């Protein structure tokens, strides 16, 4: 087991200062929601966490399988029904759907990457957290040959 900790301190105007290990960052809402727009909001951080987590897992699994990764880019986009957050409808406030696109540049042909893809999706903690919440999460792999 591994434990992780983050502490938050409300700054007002829909903004929170967060400390995690020796790092600090701010979570804030945009001005259109009444916030300060001084940083990404919680949903954007979650999408960033998914991108960061899946990247770590791709690198780890690729190394285990002997797959060379020349480049890896991710794009995560999700939709939430704001009525859930606002309490105006009986819908979940979390993502209704989410698409994660991974663009992998490698010298391994795409037809030989099925094991890598399956292991990455099975072992990525953030991907599985979102999937286990019942979110319609789709992944799209774009494989580009090494130049």
1-50: pLDDT as tens digits = 999 999 999 999 999 999 999 999 999 999 999 999 999 999 999 999 99
Whether residue 29 is found in the same domain as residue 65: no
Collapse the DSSP code of 145 into the 3-class scheme (helix H, G, I; strand E, B; otherwise coil) and give the result.
strand
**Structure pTM?**
0.94
Residue 33 sits in the same domain as residue 82: no
Tokens of 59: 């690198």
- State the average pLDDT over residues 120-144: 97
Q: Are residues 64 and 15 in the same domain?
A: no
Quick one: 35 and 50 in the same domain?
A: no
For helices 42-65 and 114-123, give the axis angle rounded to 10 degrees: 130
Q: For residues 19 and 60, state if they share a domain.
A: no
> What's the count of helices (H) and strands (E) in the chain, helices before strands?
4, 6
How many domains, the chain? 2
Q: Residue 147: pLDDT above 90?
A: no
The DSSP symbol for 31 reads: G
CATH number of the domain that 97 lies in? 3.30.300.20
Amino acid 3: pLDDT? 97
- Report how far residue 120's alpha carbon sits from residue 18's, in angstroms, rounded to the nearest whole number: 29
Q: Quick one: pLDDT at residue 76?
A: 98
Q: What would the two tokens of residue 46 be?
A: 């979650």
Q: Indicate whether 33 and 92 sit together in one domain.
A: no
For the chain, the average pLDDT equals: 97
pLDDT (tens digit per residue) in 37-93:
999 999 999 999 999 999 999 999 999 999 999 999 999 999 999 999 999 999 999
Is residue 71 located within the same domain as residue 138? yes
Cβ pair 96, 81 in contact under 8 A: yes
């Amino acid at each position: 087991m591994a434990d992780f900790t983050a502490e938050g301190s409300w700054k007002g105007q829909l903004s929170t200062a967060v400390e995690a290990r020796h790092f600090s960052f701010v979570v804030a809402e945009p001005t259109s929601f009444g916030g300060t727009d001084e940083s990404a909001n919680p949903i954007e951080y979650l999408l960033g966490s998914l991108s960061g987590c899946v990247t770590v897992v791709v690198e780890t699994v690729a190394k285990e399988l002997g797959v060379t990764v020349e480049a890896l880019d991710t794009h995560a986009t999700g939709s939430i029904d704001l009525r859930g957050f606002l309490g105006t409808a009986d819908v979940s406030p979390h993502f209704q759907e989410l698409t994660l696109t991974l663009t992998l540049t490698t010298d391994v042909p795409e037809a030989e990457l099925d094991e890598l893809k399956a292991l990455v999706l099975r072992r990525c903690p953030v991907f599985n957290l979102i999937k286990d919440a019942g979110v319609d999460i789709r992944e799209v792999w774009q494989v580009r040959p090494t130049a």
